[in-house]
Every structure is written in C-alpha cells, then in structure tokens.
Amino acid sequence: MQRVFRAAQRLGLVILSCLLVVGTLTLASAPAAATNYDVKMGSDAGLLVFEPSTITVKPGDSVTWVNNKMAPHNVIFDAANVPGDKALADSISHSQLTFAPGENYATTFTDDMPAGTYTYYCAPHRGAGMVAKVILEK
C-alpha cells in the first residue's frame, strides 16, 4: 500500500514538473506586445520640431504623428536616408498636410522592413529644421 502511495506521489511530482517546464517555455517564447509611440508635430512651446525627435521601435510597433501646433505639417521619409529604397520611403510617408490640432497619421514598422535609421521631415518646415528619425531595431 505504501509503495502505491509513493509511486502516485512520484508520478504527481513528475507531472507537476513537466507542467511547470512547459508553462515557463510558453511564457518565455511569447512575443512582446506591440507598442504605439506618439510624436507631436510642433512642440507645446510652439517650436517647429517633432517631439520626441528620435524613437526606437521594434517590428510590429507603430508611430502616430499628431498635429500639435504651428500647422500645417506632414511626414515625409527621406528616400536617401532610409535603409530601404524610394518605394519604401514613399509607402510610409504621409504627404497630405494636417491643419487642425489632433489630426494624425500612423505607420506600423513591420518585420519585412530593413533595420536601421529612417529619417523623416515635415515638407513645409524642413528648412526650419523640422527633421527627426525612427530607428528600427530587430
């Protein structure tokens, strides 16, 4: 009788150990949740800047550019300063101007996009230094 009880205890411990290992591996391999980053177009102080001027993202993350002040604004990725080609820069650019506070654009950085620094600017205010970047890390 004691042998049966001990065997059942051992079997229970083995099953519990297996469940803990499987559970730990499942949680450890779960992908990280995507993050959305907000970038203000025009600072609260009325400066012609993107805030923040640099964002580091991972595949699946999104960036939302929100018209804050000093409109009009847009987001143009510089084909000469992105890791991909002109077609990629054009596909993630938002050339339509925003005029009202709160108007926004969003871009999701996907796994098929090359890692690196994506430089962008506001076309009406590029000469004033309204340039920023998104760094895609993999």
Q: What angle do CA 54, 55, 56 make, to 5 degrees?
A: 130
Q: List CB contacts of 129: < 8 A, sequence separation 6 or more.
A: 48, 49
- Angle (nearest 5°) at CA 48 between 109 and 97: 60
Which amino acids are annotated catalytic? Answer: 73, 122, 125, 130
Only one residue has tokens 């230094």, namely: 129
CA torsion sign for 80, 84, 87, 93 is negative
Residue 53 CB contacts under 8 Å (≥ 6 apart), including other chains: 131, 132, 133
